[in-house]
Amino acid sequence: MTRCGKNIKIRASNGKNVIAKVVDDCDSVNGCDEEPPCRNDIVDGSDAVWHALGLNTEVGVVDVTWSMA
C-alpha cells in the first residue's frame, strides 16, 4: 500500500505534532527500489517539518512517531 500523496501526523518526543504529505514511500518489509533498502518505519522530513516540530536540523536523526492523519 502506498502512502504517497496522503497525509501523516508526525509527533516528536517534545510533544509537538505536524501534519505532512508523503512524497515518497519505501516499503522496507516487502522491498523497495533502493539499495541498500531503507530502514523500517522511518520518516525523512523536510526542513519545514523539522522546524514545525521545533527540532534542530543539525542533529540529523531524532526519534519520532507517526500515524495516518
Q: What is the pLDDT along the chain (69 residues), one digit of tens a residue?
A: 578 899 999 999 999 999 999 988 776 666 666 666 667 778 889 999 999 999 999 998 899 999 999
> Would you say residue 2 lies in a domain?
no
- Assess if residue 54 is contained within a domain: yes
Predicted TM-score (pTM) of the model is 0.80
31 domain-assigned: yes
**Within-domain flag for 1:** no
User: Which residue reads 531524532 in cell numbers?
Assistant: 62
User: What are the angstrom distances between the C-alpha of 4 and each of 9, 37, 65?
Assistant: 14, 18, 18
| pLDDT for the residue numbered 60 | 84
Total number of domains constituting the chain: 1
In this prediction, residue 4 carries a pLDDT of 87
